Amino acid sequence: MPDVRQPGLREVLLLAAAVVAIVLAAAGVTALLPREGQGVVFHTPLLILVLIGGTAIVLWRILRSSGPGA
Q: How many CB atoms lie under 10 A from the CB of residue 1?
A: 5
Question: 3-class SS at 61?
Answer: helix
What's the pTM value of the predicted model, to 2 decimals? 0.61
Residue 16 predicted with pLDDT over 70? yes
Residue 68: pLDDT band (50, 70, 90) is low
**Can you give the residue ranges of every domain in the chain?**
9-64
CA distance 7 to 12: 7
pLDDT at 47: 84
For the cut 70, the answer to whether the pLDDT of residue 70 exceeds it is: no
**Mind listing the pLDDT tens digit for each residue in 31-67?**
999 999 999 888 999 888 988 999 999 898 888 877 6
Q: Which pLDDT does position 2 carry in this prediction?
A: 60
